[in-house]
Amino acid sequence: MSNLGTLRNNVRLLADVDTTDVSDAEINRFVQNAYEEVLADDQWPFLMARATFSTVVAQAEYASAAIASDVEAHRITQVMAQGVVLAYLPPEQYFKLAPYGQTTASSSTTPSYWTVLQVEKLALWPTPQSIYSVQVVYATVPASLSGDTDTPLLPSRYHHHLEAGALVWVYQKIGDFEAADVKKKEFADGVNNMRDDLLRAQRQTPMVYGGQQERPTLLYRPPMPWEQ
C-alpha cells in the first residue's frame, strides 16, 4: 500500500528528476490530479457506502452534511425510508408538488419519493410528518491527498496507476512530450483495466430467480404523482 510520500518518491525516481526540476509540491499536485481522474467515475465499488439519518417532522429537505461527512447529495444512488426503497422524482416534478415555502404535505404516510436539489440537498416527498429512519446508498467523496501519510482510497494493487498519471504532468513539465504521451496511454490503459477488473462482475453476473435469468425487481414502483 502506498501513501502520498511513497508515490511522490516513486514518481521522482522513475522520472529521474530532483527538486530543482520539479518540486515536491508539484508532484503532490500531479498525483492528486491523477487520483481525481480515477475518481471521476463514481461507480467504483470501493466508493460505495451507506448512511442513516432521522427525518424531522415537517421537513422535506436535508443538507448532505446532515447525512454523512463524505457525501454530496448528487452522488446518492438509493434511498430507503423505514426499509422501503423510494422512487426517484425529477427535481422539476418535486417543485410542482412542493411549492416554495411549503413545509407540509396532506399525507401522513412515509415518504415515497426522493430527489436532489442544488447538489447538496436530499429532498423527500411527501414531507415527513413523523420521525423516520432513512437509509441512503451513495458514492463517497474521498479526502484529497495532502499529507505524506495520506493513502488513496482505491485498492493498493492499483496505486501504481497514479504514478503513471502523475508522470504525464512531470514529463510535460520538463519538456519530454514523447515520454508524456507514452505515460498518458499507460495511465488510460491502467484505469480501463482497473474498470474491467472491478466492474466486470457487476455488469456480467446475472440475477437468477427460480432457475431463470431475470431482471431483478426489488419493489413495485408506485405511480408518479402526475400519473395518478
57-103: pLDDT as tens digits: 989 999 999 999 999 999 999 999 988 999 999 999 888 887 665 55
* Residue whose cell numbers read 440475477: 207
Per-residue pLDDT 10s for the chain (228 aa) are: 799 999 999 999 999 999 999 999 999 999 999 999 999 887 899 999 999 999 999 899 999 999 999 999 999 999 999 889 999 999 998 888 876 655 555 555 789 999 999 889 999 999 898 999 999 999 998 999 999 999 999 999 999 999 999 999 999 999 999 999 999 999 999 999 999 998 875 555 444 444 444 433 344 455 555 555
Q: What is the pLDDT of residue 101?
A: 53
Cα torsion angle, 176, 177, 180, 181, sign? negative
Which pTM value belongs to this model? Answer: 0.74
CB within 8 Å of 172: residues ≥ 6 apart:
180
CB within 8 Å of 166: residues ≥ 6 apart:
7, 11, 27, 30, 31, 33, 34
Distance between CA atoms of 124 and 73, rounded to whole angstroms?
A: 12
Q: What is the pLDDT of residue 212?
A: 45
Residue 206, burial from CB neighbour count under 10 angstroms (0-12, 13-18, 19+): exposed
* Residue whose cell numbers read 427460480: 210
Residue 134 · residue 79 · CB < 8 Å: yes
Distance between CA atoms of 6 and 29, rounded to whole angstroms?
A: 14
